[in-house]
Structure 1
Amino acid sequence: MSTSPKPQGYSVHQNPSQKYLFRRLRKSGAKLILKSGDLRLEPREAKITPKLVAFDVDGTLLRGENICGCIARNIGRTAEMNAFELFRSREEITVGRQTMLEWYSPFSRETLIGYLQDLRLAPGVRRGFARLKEEGIKIALVSITWQFAVDWLAADLGADYESALDGAITVRSGIFGPKIKRPGSGPYLPGFRSTKTLWLR
């Protein structure tokens, strides 16, 4: 029985280790290309699908006014808020946040959330979130702003998880802490570990 001639440079008698390697490469989806007597490998394109995508809020999902600035404008505290935005030290920021809480104290949670209706989303946010959900990818919002505001925005956008400065989770070295809170639900959920892909946006 005749066999078709092999191109020059092709070895019919590969050693066992080569045969094993080529079998594994084929199983992985890689292509073995024989060209001009040369055997070369074309690796399969890797497709990384994240399990969770986390977005910052102010300046990322929101454009223009941030959450604190929006509330300050509605309660007549814009000048003070602009001064607070210049704070850089931890001590100054702590004092500023305590002062803001005093501003908010005469207002109900519902009133403050009502002011947030003025916030402007970045173009394509809702469409992008819908695409992620279609792909089965979880969405988280992470921010250093107020928890009640992030809770409201997460519910409005249909995010799966949220965390703010006074929230239930922390982000350390790309890994969520031990507890994650789902918007609108009481119980906490086990956190995502480093074995899951986490993208911060």
Structure 2
Amino acid sequence: MKKSNYVQLGAVIILSAVTGCATNTGGTNPVGAVNQSLSTIESAAQSGKQVLNAGAAVAGNAEGAAQIGLVDILAHRLGVSPQQALGGAGAIFQMAQSNMNPQAFSSLSRSVPGMSTMLGAAPAMSNLSALAGGNSTLGSAAALAASFQQLNLSPDMVGKFIPVITNYVSKTSGQATANLLQSAVTAR
């Protein structure tokens, strides 16, 4: 059934109940009783519509709802804005992607809801490995710090984001995947 049908059905049921009550007013003003009943019906219909809209929004955006979990955790624990949390997580996952084999990253990507949204929110990472004397780990770390600065986060926040994200990955996809992520984003 469409949500408008549920609202209409609810209004009819409430109207029937109220009409039955309005006929037993015991001598009170029937017009006032009807007006009060109509207000009650309108209020119930609005409440029902809000519940249906909220349910439809969650059902239609399940990936977004799940992704909010990691962003909210980062924002709450680290005192950063949701946009900074989203971009910072994306930058860390970009670094992991560049340091992991494609199959391992694909597995990680499937286990973290909203991965594509986070990757899209991350500032572009420059390839700094040439500046780091060919050391790709050092170059990746420098690129990650530069990404965090673009998000108005200090580079030391990278060290605060990584444990929160790996803990989240551990809970959503297991310790083995968290270990892969950890090794991909920390200097060896």
TM-score bin, normalised by smaller chain: under 0.3
TM-score by length of 1: 0.23
Larger strand fraction of residues: 1
Larger relative contact order (C-alpha < 8 A, sep ≥ 6)? 1
Could you say which structure has the higher helix fraction?
2
